[in-house]
Structure 1
Amino acid sequence: MTDLLAALGLVLALEGALYAAFPGPMKRALAVVAVQPEGQIRFGGLVALAVGVLLVWLVRG
């Protein structure tokens, strides 16, 4: 459970750093995502999920 909380904290820190460093490009990126079809967003999320699980599996063994 502590690994999950640490990972969540890392995600929030990285995302917060992106919004703090690049607010304009992040707003534009969100605007682009807002007009994408839900199926395309879902597919992108599933790809990100698979890559993330694979990466954790490779690193943690």
Structure 2
Amino acid sequence: MRDILLGIGMVLVIEGLVYALAPSLVERLLEALRAMPMEARRRFGLGAIAIGVLFVWCAHQVT
């Protein structure tokens, strides 16, 4: 449970920093996502999941 809360907290901190420091960048990224076909967005999301799982796996191997 501690790891889940830590992970969610880290995501919120990083996303909050992006919105606070570069809000116009977020708008441009959202526009670019809207222009992408649905299948490309799905592949992007699956790739992000795979990289996230790899990071979590690596973090647990180090500790």
Q: Same fold (TM over 0.5)?
A: yes
Q: Which consecutive segments of 4 or more residues in structure 1 shift more than 3 A?
A: none
Sequence identity, in percent?
39
d(CA) in 2 for partners of 1:33, 1:52: 20
Aligned ranges 1:34-49 → 2 under 5 Å:
34-49=34-49
Equivalence for 1:31: 31
Structure 1 unaligned blocks of 5 or more: none
Q: 1:19 aligned to 2:19?
A: yes
d(CA) in 2 for partners of 1:8, 1:41: 22
TM-score of the superposed pair, with normalisation by structure 2: 0.88
The alignment yields a C-alpha RMSD, in angstroms, of 0.9
Report the alpha carbon displacement of residue 46 of structure 1 after superposing the two structures with TM. 0.6
Counting matched residue pairs gives 61
Show CA shifts across 1:3-44 (max 9, x none).
111101110110110011001111111111012111101101
